[in-house]
Amino acid sequence: MSVNYISSIGKFYKEEVLCFEFQLMLGSEAVWSRDYDIEMCVYTSELSRRLMVCDYSAGIVKSEFRLTSADGCEVLRRRNSYIVKLSPSFLCWLPDGVLTFGIRYIGERFESAEVIKTDPLISIRR
Partner 1 sequence: MNNPIDQYQYSYGSGLVNPYSMLTSTVSVDYYTICRPIMGGDIKEEHPDFLNLGASEGLILTTDQRRLCVTVVGWPSVFLEFNRPFVSQGVNAYGAEEYRWYWDVEHPDSFIGVQLLKEEESETWVRYCIVIDICNGSPLLKGGSFDVIVSTGLVSRSFEVAILQTWMG
Q: Is 5 in the site for partner 1 (CB under 8 A)?
A: yes
| Of the residues 60, 102, 120, 122, which one makes contact with partner 1 according to CB under 8 A | 102
Residue type at position 75: V
- Rounded-to-integer distance, Cα 25 and Cα 81, Å: 9
Which residues in the 47-86 window bind partner 1 by CB under 8 A? 47, 50, 52, 76, 78-80, 83, 85
- Rounded-to-integer distance, Cα 59 and Cα 44, Å: 29
- Rounded-to-integer distance, Cα 14 and Cα 98, Å: 12
Q: Catalog residues that contact partner 1 under the rule CB under 8 A.
A: 2, 4-6, 8-9, 12, 17-27, 31-32, 34, 39, 41, 46-47, 50, 52, 76, 78-80, 83, 85, 101-105, 110-118
